[in-house]
Structure 1
């Protein structure tokens, strides 16, 4: 079975499992509808897997493209970036997180990047910026709507989503990318992402994953500042939605609050959705439903939903 067909089958399986039912009787009654919805989405999408979008430090960074079949016009696209503290994680391990966006009709690009064991900071940021450029450069082929690019991720992926959408070309972190495409996104959805990397290198908020990502580079603090979203808050940024639990032990909730306050001061449209008592993800069903309802409303507010949604 080809990689593309494997991913298509995997998507069908995920969809068939994505409708929890409360009882055996309910499962029996709802099974045909559940499978019908799963098959509908599976048949609606095609998958192109493991496309190399950049080769850096002898590493081929890859991405997967999920797109509706038979598109006749450019379609809004979500760029999804996995988490793992810049030291772990895979794009395949986050595949379930794509489901809500697929159900809403988005095209989705699922991105991997160099982890710390391959290259230290700022490599992951450089890669994700190059993934954005790849999306823009290949928009005609895949029918991506470059006016409706949404970038999102969780934890370190949230940080990288912020950096991908906020970073100005003048920061000099796009040099690995092919071409000089002007890179802009329409919105950023940040799930409990790091916003101040320096804060995690020393002191009460020190986190091992951040220390590993920066390593023993002589200019560690300078690099940390260059890869911190708070460094790039300014007027004219795209709308930003941040989702964060106020009891997060892995990424301090204060990172979300400080970003929200800084964006407000700069006049950037933004929203902070706080999950009371929420940890580092793992939100319950009611919280998750609230989050995705908020995401959908946020995207609708800025006219970023696919046609018919």
Structure 2
């Protein structure tokens, strides 16, 4: 059960569905088409790829899009190999795009942020081809991917961080930030001048502190920041929940529609089945409230 900054809902057990209804629900939760390993950007001879899982209702008109960025401390991890973890979004009428980005061993900050911004640009440029609705793009990420989802959404369209060929991307309509760092200058372990994971991604050089600040989503919050749902375990020892509290404070101060769902006893993800189910329900309800989901 979720708590803290949002009222937790106790959901009744669903009644048994007839077989025909079950089949229809299952069909809605599967992609109508799958496009794997699509190259969206080539940089320094590295081809960056993404997977597209088209909405089951894509033939009915342009579909909203969930863009997913994986976690791994900006240093490891990869996009999911299957669409099945995204089935609730597909069932709600979304297409899903899962994105590869450069890790710290390939290129330091702001490379990953430039990549995810280019992925948003690619979605806008390919909207007609894939049936995307560029006005209904949701950036979603876990851990470092949550941070990148925030950066993809919070930077202005004329940001100097963007590379020239990816400027003018569509505006992200909402963000689902699952336990992502919000201010890299304030996620400092006791007795250390900088967080080692941040230092590995940004680098250790004169002026690195300024890059830490520039790569901090909370510092880019303003009145035009898109609505944001934050999810965080209250016993997270990797990214302290204080990071999400300070992000929520910044969002509320700017008048941005926002909500923080806390998971009592939850660590860095790996929430139990009941909590995961409720988080999905609440995330879809948040997106519906913004007019982004069926």
Could you say which residue in structure 2 is the equivalent of 1:46?
Answer: 33
Residues 24-43 of structure 1 aligned to structure 2 (within 5 Å): 36=23, 40=27
Residues 1-309 of structure 1 aligned to structure 2 (within 5 Å): 36=23, 40=27, 44-68=31-55, 71-92=59-80, 95-175=83-163, 177-178=165-166, 180-200=167-187, 203=190, 207-305=195-293, 309=294
Contact residue 137 and residue 181 of structure 1 kept, 8 A: no
Q: Counterpart of 2:185 in 1: which secondary structure?
A: helix
Contact residue 161 and residue 190 of structure 1 kept, 8 A: yes
Distance 1:36 1:94, change over 3 A: closer
Contact residue 242 and residue 256 of structure 1 kept, 8 A: yes
Distance 1:74 1:133, change over 3 A: same
Could you tell me how far apart the structure 2 residues matched to 1:95 and 1:150 are? 17
Q: How far 1:60 moved relative to its partner?
A: 1.1
Aligned pair count reads 276
Q: Which runs of 5+ in 2 are unaligned?
A: 1-16
RMSD between aligned alpha carbons?
2.4
Could you tell me how far apart the structure 2 residues matched to 1:267 and 1:277 are? 29
Could you tell me how far apart the structure 1 residues matched to 2:199 and 2:155 are? 22
Distance 1:192 1:34, change over 3 A: farther
Distance 1:94 1:254, change over 3 A: farther
Greater relative contact order (CA < 8 Å, ≥ 6 in sequence): 2
For residues 19-38 of structure 1, the C-alpha deviation after alignment (integer angstroms, 9 at most, x for no partner) is xxxxxxxxxxx9x8899579
Contact residue 239 and residue 270 of structure 1 kept, 8 A: yes
Q: Counterpart of 2:279 in 1: which secondary structure?
A: helix
For residues 86-132 of structure 1, the C-alpha deviation after alignment (integer angstroms, 9 at most, x for no partner) is 00000135755322212222101110100001001110000000000
For residues 228-258 of structure 1, the C-alpha deviation after alignment (integer angstroms, 9 at most, x for no partner) is 1011011121110000011100101000000
Contact residue 48 and residue 101 of structure 2 kept, 8 A: yes
Could you say which residue in structure 2 is the equivalent of 1:10?
Answer: none
Could you tell me how far apart the structure 2 residues matched to 1:177 and 1:191 are? 29
Contact residue 69 and residue 98 of structure 2 kept, 8 A: yes
Which has the larger helix fraction? Answer: 1
Q: Counterpart of 2:109 in 1: which secondary structure?
A: coil
Q: Counterpart of 1:177 in 2: which secondary structure?
A: helix
Q: How far 1:265 moved relative to its partner?
A: 0.8
The normalised TM-score by structure 2 is 0.86
Q: Counterpart of 1:54 in 2: which secondary structure?
A: strand
Distance 1:204 1:286, change over 3 A: farther
Could you tell me how far apart the structure 1 residues matched to 2:32 and 2:82 are? 18
